[in-house]
Amino acid sequence: MTTDHDFEFTSVTPEPSLEDYVDSFWMLHNKSDKPKEVIILPDGRMDLFCSRSATDPFHITLSGIETQADQAILAPGTLMFAISFKLLAAEYIFHQAISGIVDYAVHLPADFWGFGAGDLEDFPLFCQKATAQIRSLIPATVDSRKQLLFGLLYAHKGNMTVQELSEKVFWSSRQINRYFNQQFGLSLKTYGDILRFRASFPHIKTGKLFPEQDFADQSHFIKAVKKLSGVSPKELSKNQNGRFIQFSTLGSR
């Protein structure tokens, strides 16, 4: 759990039965009566948010993959319970492509999956309810190539080439990229770059401003970080005013 006077964050790892589909459950609370400006960094996940604030009633949104840093404002009193999904969930849990919501979010029905305003009263119970719902939606059979593909991507934190992955899963590079573009709205290489960027967060936060995720060299690393965050690794490590939200909560995952 991460807490300060005005800000609280906690994250929970899902049970093993959900590990192919869910990255984490998490809660964020801006306890202040003032808005908090934050920057959200690409991390390779799709997120379902249940939230409310002092100015907005309960609502549910689904966000696609972020490919660039996004500025946002947490309104006073914002309380958010969320589920961060791995990409396999798009096809097998939500049964839809998310290519149309890259760097974007859409509102879902206010009673989606049976959630309501009352579910924001107890985070552990929210996690239990979400777990039961997702477990009920997991199909009996899944394309083994896709399951292996994502297993390798996450295990290696994006540090595998398209060709290497193609050979491991017995699926052509062309077909994999077509699947990624149609289903998620970006190429496999781009997604791998995002996963490598995310994996560098702990290193950057502790001031290790050199590549540790198989980047070609220092220059390539800096360029990749700037492309996805909008700032240099050095500025990212400073996290002035706690504005980079994933850095403020790092260590809670």
Number of domains in the chain: 2
Does residue 32 share a domain with residue 130? Answer: yes
Token pair 């909560």 is found at 249
pTM of the model: 0.92
Cα(77)–Cα(250) distance, integer angstroms: 22
Does residue 148 share a domain with residue 120? Answer: no
So what's the pLDDT on residue 149? 97
The SS3 of residue 67 is coil
Whole domain around residue 148: which residue ranges?
144-242
Cα(185)–Cα(69) distance, integer angstroms: 17
Q: What is the pLDDT of residues 131-150, one digit of tens each?
A: 999 999 999 999 999 999 99
CA 41 to chain centre: 9
Show the tokens assigned to 206: 């502790």
**Beta-carbon contacts of residue 36 (< 8 Å; ≥ 6 apart):** 6, 7, 30, 73, 74, 78
Cα(144)–Cα(169) distance, integer angstroms: 8
Please say which residue of 85, 108, 140 terminates a domain: 140
Does residue 62 share a domain with residue 167? Answer: no
Does residue 162 share a domain with residue 218? Answer: yes
CA distances from 176 to 84, 152, 188 (A): 23, 14, 7
247 within domain boundaries? no
CB 1 within 8 A of CB 8: yes
Please say which residue of 120, 140, 160 terminates a domain: 140
So what's the pLDDT on residue 203? 83
- Cβ-count burial 167-181 (b if 16+ within 10 Å, e if not): eebebebeebbebbe
Low-confidence ranges of the chain (pLDDT < 50): 252-253
So what's the pLDDT on residue 1? 59
User: How many C-beta atoms lie closer than 10 Å to residue 223's C-beta?
Assistant: 14
So what's the pLDDT on residue 253? 41
So what's the pLDDT on residue 11? 93
Show the tokens assigned to 215: 């980047």
248 within domain boundaries? no
Please say which residue of 140, 160, 181 terminates a domain: 140
**Would you tell me the crossing angle of helices 188-199 and 173-184 to the nearest 10 degrees?**
70
Cα(84)–Cα(31) distance, integer angstroms: 22
